[in-house]
Structure 1
C-alpha cells in the first residue's frame, strides 16, 4: 500500500492504493483532499470487500502515520491481515507500490483535471484500464486481472 500525490486545477489530492503483490492488481483505492488515516482505511475496506478468498494475508506499507494509526491497525487485525512495514523511509523497501504509483502517473493520469470530481472519474477509468488491459512484462505479458483470476482459480482447486 502507498499514498501518492495527484493534482487538479483545485490543488493537490491524495490517492491511496492497495495492490495485490502477486498479480499487481489494484484491489482498493481512495482519492481525497486530505491525507487522513480514515481515507486510507477506505482503500483498505474496498480491498477487503474485493477479496475472493480468506487465507493468510500480509499487508506491506511504508511507515506513514496513516498506516501506523490505530484505526488502520485495528482494521487489519479485525480482518486477520498481518501488518508488515518498511524499516524506515526507504522507497526501495516499498518498490512495488512506488512502481504502480509511477505507472499511473506516467501512463494514465496525464490530463490535469479541473476538480476532484473529474479527477475521481479519471482515476477510476485509469485503474480499470490498468487492471483489465495493461499487460506487464513481469506477468508474462498478461494483465493484472488475468493473473489474479488465474491465481484465484488455482486456490479454489487446491481447496477442493
Structure 2
C-alpha cells in the first residue's frame, strides 16, 4: 500500500510563516493562521516543509485506493505565487459554497488565492468549518 509522503513534523509554524515571502504572503499567512485557529479551535502543525495543517483525517485516494494516509482536515501554504488552501472543496457542501468565495483558481486538491483581500472572509470561515467537520468516514476528497 502506498503512503502519502507529506506527514506532520515538529517544525515551527511561527518560524515558517515568519519566513514567507513576499511580505504580503507573510501577512496573509499569519492572518489565515489566526482565522483557522479561531474557526477550528486547533493548534496548527507543519505538514512536510510547507503546509500548515489543522486536525487530520484518514485520506484514501479516489483514483488509487491503495494510496492512503493521514492528511490535514484544513490547511494552507503561503506560496510565492499564491496562497494554497487545502480541504475547502473536498466535501459537497464546500464545493457548493466555493463559487461565493470571491476571486480564486482551482487546482486538483486545493484552491489558489492571490490575496485575502480577493475573497469573502465570512464565506472562507464557513468553508473552513465545513472542512473541519470531516471524519475518516468521509475518506477521499
TM score, norm. by length of structure 1: 0.28
Higher relative contact order (CA 8 A, sep 6+): 2
**Would you tell me which structure has more helix in proportion to its own residues?**
1
TM score, norm. by length of structure 2: 0.30
